A and B are shown apart, each in its own frame.
Chain A
Amino acid sequence: EVQLVESGGGLEQPGRSLRLSCTGSGFTFGDYAVSWVRQAPGKGLEWLGFIRIKRQGGTTEYAASVKGRFSISRDDSNSIAYLQMNSLKMEDTAVYYCTRDRGRECSQCYWGQGTLVTVSS
Chain B
Amino acid sequence: DIQMTQSPSTLSASVGDRVTITCRASQSIGTWLAWYQQKPGKAPKLLIYKASDLETGVPSRFSGSGSGTEFTLTISSLQPDDFATYYCQQYDSFSWTFGQGTKVEIK
Contact = CB atoms under 8 A, between A and B. Distances in A.
Interface of A: 35, 37, 44-47, 50, 61-64, 97, 105-114
B100 interface: yes
Contacts of A114: 43
A69 to B, nearest CB: 15
Nearest to A98: B43
A33 B43 CA distance: 19
B46 interface: yes
Contact of A105 (B43, B49, B96, B101): B49
Contacts of B100: 44
Contacts, number: 59
B53 interface: yes
Q: How large is the interface on B (under 10, 10 to 19, 20 to 34, 35 or more residues)?
A: 20 to 34
6 contacts: A44-B98, A45-B98, A64-B95, A105-B50, A108-B34, A113-B43
Interface of B: 1, 32, 34, 36, 38, 43-46, 49-50, 53, 55, 87, 89, 91, 94-101
B103 to A, nearest CB: 10
A44 B100 CA distance: 6
Nearest to A97: B43
Residue of B45, B87, B91, B99 most packed against chain A (CB within 10 A): B91
Nearest to B94: A61
A80 B49 CA distance: 25
A109 B44 CA distance: 10
Contacts of A97: 43-44
